[in-house]
Structure 1
Amino acid sequence: MDLTDARILVTGGAGFIGSQLSDRLLADGNEVVVVDDFSNGREEWVPAGAEVLEADLTNRDAVTDAIDADLDLVFHLAARKDPNDDDPRGQFDENTTMTHLLLEACRDAGVEGFAFASSSTVYGEAPRPTPEDFAPLEPISVYGASKLGEEGLVSTYAHSHGLTAWTFRFANVVGPRLRGAVIPDFLEKLRANPESLTILGDGRQEKSYLHVDDCVDAMCHVVDRAGADDVESDGGATYTYNLGTRTTTSVDRIADIVSDVLDLDPDYEYTGGDRGWTGDVPRMRLSIEKLAAIGWTPNLESDDAVRRAAEELADEIDEA
């Protein structure tokens, strides 16, 4: 799908990834509608030139009002994500309800394209590097379970109702505007106490980290290229891609990088165990060979993505 001169709706468009995707889509000459309830996103992050709708996407009427026949594509990034959520049923229901209502509204309005932000958490504790066709998918967190359920809905509407869908399984995305994750957590802890840093788990958890600039570029590349040579497809197709790096970074290494960025040498203290929280996947590395086959690889590998994000966030948090 050509991502120029299109009318595109971005759910969660005031959030960490969504706001930066919206900025890219505008720069490429598209008309962008941002939909957000501002529970996590910030209005000041929405780029100038985007139309803004404040809406609760679990409300059918609000979703129906947001989706119109003039839209060419929906990028669905809005989600409730909290690894320590004390209402897991609510998290699952909210995420799957949003996706179901959006798909229904797209079908009714005749919107032909749907790009969905999923997660590596759908794989659970899988062999590494994990390809897109790995099975069985056995998530170990409610968030991962909700993403797997949402993927099923996206596939159903693609194959049953003629929608063309692109599903992205993200590695850990990092960069400016990131909140509630390991890099900003370490920055805030070290600002409060430069002498000591508490690390969840044993510090040996090891995962791929993708810079948000690469993430946004990869999403646009996939929508533009995946299925472009499929001459038999006239809607009714879904294309699933891992978005990540070929390398990984440990939590201890992240602590070292963040400490170096702040020019500190703290003592590390560990909470213990091989994972940071219930549902945490200690080790994750996605295969990105399918993505490379359509001509895209990241500019920054995992360590470099972490360092750049730490530098950006250190400046951003200082200014907040």
Structure 2
Amino acid sequence: MQLSGKRVLVTGGAGLVGSQMVEDLVEDNDVVVADDLSNGIRSSIPDDAEFVQADLTDESQVTDVITSELDAVFHFAAADKYVNTDDPRPQFEENGEMTYNILERMDEVGVTNFVFTSSSTVYGEAPRPTPEDYAPLEPISIYGSAKLSEEALLSTFAHSYDFTVWNFRFANIVGPRFGAGVVPDFVEKLDESPDLLTILGNGLQEKSYMHVTECTEAIRYVVENADDEMNTYNLGTKTTTSVNAIADIVADVMGLDPEYEYTGGDRGWTGDVPKMRLSIEKLSALGWQPDQSSDEAVRRATEQLVEKLE
């Protein structure tokens, strides 16, 4: 599907990835953003996009934002994986409810192009680098379970209801935004206490980090060049960065030399996968690969966050 001259809806368009996707699309498309602003920031949405504040777990509000005039829906809204870790049930229910509501309404009005942001967490603790066809998928977090159940819905609508689905399993996406995630967490902690940094786990967790601008560039490329019923692609980098290395990068950018203290264990939180690197061979074979390494993405995001502090 060529993304030019289209009318598209971006859910979660006030979030880190959503707002960057809107910025990419709005130059040559008519873009509507639907976000309840529970995690998103209104000022992140480009002025050229139409904004509707909507709770997508509410069927009546979904009916209002999804109409037959749309050419595609980019569903980026999600109950974040760092939210409600002590009470994960709403996270699972809200993610599934939003996705089913949207798919059902799209089918009613005849809109069949669906772009979805899934997660590397669907793989659980899989061998690295993990390809898209790795099985069995055994997530260890509620967030991963929610994303996997949503992917099952997408498969059903692709194969039984004539949808075209682009499903993206993300590595860790970083960029110029404070909120959840290890990079903004470290920047905020060191800004408040420059001499000591508390690190969740043992600091040896090692994952792939991708800058948000390359993430959305890859999404657009795949949507425009992959045309199967169900198109599933990993998005990430070929390299990884440890939590200790992230701490070193953040400290270096901020011109600090803090001591590190650790909470212990090999997981930062319940369901955290200590080691993650996705295979991006399928993405490369389609003709796109990232320019930045994992370390470079972390450093660029850190520089952007520090600039915001200043």
TM-score by length of 1: 0.95
Residue 230 of structure 1 is matched in structure 2 by: none
Contact 1:242 1:286 in 2 (8 A): yes
Residue 181 of structure 1 is matched in structure 2 by: 181
Residue 269 of structure 2 is matched in structure 1 by: 277
Distance 1:197 1:147 in 2: 32
Instruction: Return the letter of the residue paired with 2:294.
Output: S
Residue 13 of structure 2 is matched in structure 1 by: 13
CA RMSD of aligned residues (A): 0.9
Distance 1:119 1:38 in 2: 21
Distance 2:203 2:87 in 1: 27
Deviations 1:155-206 (A, max 9, x none): 1111111010000000000011241110111111111111111111110000
- How much has 1:75 moved relative to structure 2? 0.3
Identify unmatched segments of 5+ residues in structure 2.
none
1:30 aligned onto 2:29: yes
Residue 63 of structure 1 is matched in structure 2 by: 62
Distance 1:199 1:85 in 2: 18
Distance 2:180 2:172 in 1: 12
Contact 1:195 1:267 in 2 (8 A): yes
Contact 1:16 1:178 in 2 (8 A): no
Instruction: Return the letter of the residue paired with 2:301.
Output: A
Residue 130 of structure 1 is matched in structure 2 by: 130
2:249 to 251, 257, 269: 257
Counting only pairs closer than 5 Å after superposition, residues 86-105 of structure 1 correspond to structure 2 as: 86-105=86-105
Identify unmatched segments of 5+ residues in structure 1.
228-232
1:303 aligned onto 2:295: yes
Contact 1:165 1:238 in 2 (8 A): yes
Contact 1:175 1:308 in 2 (8 A): yes
User: Secondary structure, in 3 states, of the residue corresponding to 2:114?
Assistant: strand
- How much has 1:85 moved relative to structure 2? 2.2
Counting only pairs closer than 5 Å after superposition, residues 79-118 of structure 1 correspond to structure 2 as: 79-83=78-82, 85-118=85-118
Distance 1:179 1:305 in 2: 17
Deviations 1:63-95 (A, max 9, x none): 011111110100000000143522211110000
Contact 1:14 1:45 in 2 (8 A): yes
Instruction: Return the letter of the residue paired with 2:17.
Output: I
